[in-house]
């Protein structure tokens, strides 16, 4: 895992819907992603909540 050098903690997970939306937008724009893809762990969190 990546550790932030200022806080010495791992960065928070991104919102899964934002990741899915960005994937659709990148496919539509036909350009490479500006940011690395975040792991989609929100589906299991949504079900747990």
Cβ neighbors of 35 (< 8 A, separation 6 or more) are 22
Q: Note the pLDDT of residue 31.
A: 67
Which tens digits make up the pLDDT trace of 1-49? 678 888 888 877 767 777 777 778 777 777 666 666 665 666 566 666 5
């Amino acid at each position: 895992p990546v550790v932030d050098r200022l806080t010495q903690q791992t960065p928070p997970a991104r919102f899964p819907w934002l990741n899915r939306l960005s994937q659709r937008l990148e496919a539509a724009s036909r350009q490479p992603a500006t940011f690395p893809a975040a792991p989609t762990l929100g589906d299991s969190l949504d079900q747990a909540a």
